[in-house]
Chains A and B, each alone.
Chain A
Amino acid sequence: MESGLLTTPEFTAFSKKVVPFIHVTTHIEGRANEGLLGEKGGTGFPTLMFLDAEGGVLGLPAGRSAQAFDAKLGSLSKVLQKIADMKAAIAKGEKGLEKELFFLELDLGRFDLKALQAKAKSLKGLTDQQKTRLAADILDLQMKEVFNLVRQEDGLAMAGKILLEIHATGVFPTGRNEGPFWGYSMEYAESIEDIAMFDAALTEIERMFGDNERMAPMLAEKRASLKKMKNGDEPEEEIEEEVVEGQ
């Protein structure tokens, strides 16, 4: 990319329509914002992304060409203008736009977990499709929060609250979040000795990875730990030797 696309006149022309920001992960001590990629949900290099002026993630281009960048910029600009127009109309007293506005902003990932959970409780008259969409977005944000928290010291304990929330709904992540969800659930459950959750999580991990020979030792170790937890840790009885005098 650095010796190709980013050196083209097409990219130069595109770059004038945006604020082109290069973020370099350097491993230089004391450098600010080294973890920015992870904070924005990126997982590899290179990553290209559109942000708003507050740094909120708006989306990624569909391809790696100046044309794809222009197309994404165009579609984002349209949505942002529509949102601005709707907010102006609502401010003037126009009714019936709140739900449409909400879902437009949801498309842009404008809500953090707490805000989205609050909105989910307050929004009325949602269709089944909208409710399903909302639940899926909340689950996504919950898992993002879990990934953020486990990076911190004692993070698993903090992430545990969210894991328990997810378990309470009975609706679990699928796709690429499925393994990490059950993995963290298993670790957390083992740490707090929640036998039921440990058992359920281990069962799911075994379902997903039980055929993988390289996973077998880890799974056996966890199964043994669970068994020990179920049986309880009974202290061994001390047997005092009888001292017989005169012998």
Chain B
Amino acid sequence: MISLKHLLAPALVSLALAAPAAAQADQGQMQKNFDDKMAKDFMSNAAWITDYDEARKIAKEEGKLIFVYFTRSYAQ
């Protein structure tokens, strides 16, 4: 049976992104996945900022726009 949730798909995607099932995730594995992502070659191809507050601070100081690449590490 298709539930009402299927109608609310855009919101469900947002829910999935905003409310990760951290309680069920193996935290050690999640950390390893993230560390592996950060060690990939592409990270050394640009001066990537990884902190949102720092990105905004630098953008203000240098008068630049922020180009954000949203990605994930929780699923390999």
Q: Judge whether B72 and A186 touch: CB under 8 Å.
A: no
Which residues of B come within 8 Å of A, CB atoms?
A: 1-4, 6-11, 13-15, 17-22, 25, 27, 30-31, 33-34, 37-38, 40-43, 45-50, 52, 55-56, 58-60, 62-74
Q: Judge whether A27 and B74 touch: CB under 8 Å.
A: yes
Q: Judge whether A151 and B14 touch: CB under 8 Å.
A: yes
A198 at the interface (CB under 8 A from B): no
Q: Judge whether A22 and B71 touch: CB under 8 Å.
A: yes
**Min CB–CB distance B70 → chain A (angstroms):** 4
B4, closest chain A residue (CB): A183
Q: Judge whether B67 and A18 touch: CB under 8 Å.
A: yes
A170 at the interface (CB under 8 A from B): no
Number of A-B contacts (CB under 8 A): 211
A150 at the interface (CB under 8 A from B): yes
B57, closest chain A residue (CB): A53
Q: Judge whether B64 and A19 touch: CB under 8 Å.
A: yes
Which residues of A come within 8 Å of B, CB atoms?
A: 2-3, 6-8, 11-12, 14-29, 32-40, 42-55, 58, 69, 73, 76-77, 146-148, 150-151, 176-177, 179-180, 182-184, 186-187, 205, 209, 212, 214-215, 217-218
**Min CB–CB distance A158 → chain B (angstroms):** 14
Tell which of A7, A22, A33, A177 touches B48, judged by Cβ atoms closer than 8 Å: A22
Q: Judge whether B46 and A21 touch: CB under 8 Å.
A: no
B26, closest chain A residue (CB): A27
Q: Judge whether A12 and B45 touch: CB under 8 Å.
A: yes
B63, closest chain A residue (CB): A53
Q: Judge whether B11 and A24 touch: CB under 8 Å.
A: no
- B33 proximity list for chain A (CB < 8 A): 26
- A7 proximity list for chain B (CB < 8 A): 41-42, 45
- What's the Cα separation between A177 and B9 when bound, in Å? 10
Q: Judge whether A37 and B69 touch: CB under 8 Å.
A: no
Other A-B pairs, 19, CB within 8 Å; known A24-B38, A151-B15: A6-B69, A14-B67, A19-B49, A20-B49, A24-B50, A27-B74, A28-B34, A29-B22, A45-B71, A47-B70, A54-B56, A55-B56, A55-B66, A69-B67, A148-B14, A180-B7, A183-B8, A184-B8, A218-B4
Tell which of B7, B14, B60 touches A205, judged by Cβ atoms closer than 8 Å: B7
Q: Judge whether B20 and A27 touch: CB under 8 Å.
A: yes
Q: Judge whether B7 and A151 touch: CB under 8 Å.
A: no
B2, closest chain A residue (CB): A214
- What's the Cα separation between A38 and B49 when bound, in Å? 19
* Most chain A beta-carbon neighbours within 10 Å: one of B18, B40, B48, B67: B67
Please name 22 pairs of A and B residues whose Cβ atoms are closer than 8 Å in the assembled complex, sorted by A: A15-B45, A18-B67, A20-B48, A21-B55, A21-B66, A23-B68, A23-B71, A25-B20, A25-B70, A25-B74, A26-B33, A36-B52, A44-B13, A51-B68, A53-B59, A177-B10, A180-B10, A182-B7, A184-B8, A205-B7, A215-B1, A217-B1
- B64 proximity list for chain A (CB < 8 A): 17-19, 53
B41, closest chain A residue (CB): A7
Q: Judge whether B4 and A38 touch: CB under 8 Å.
A: no
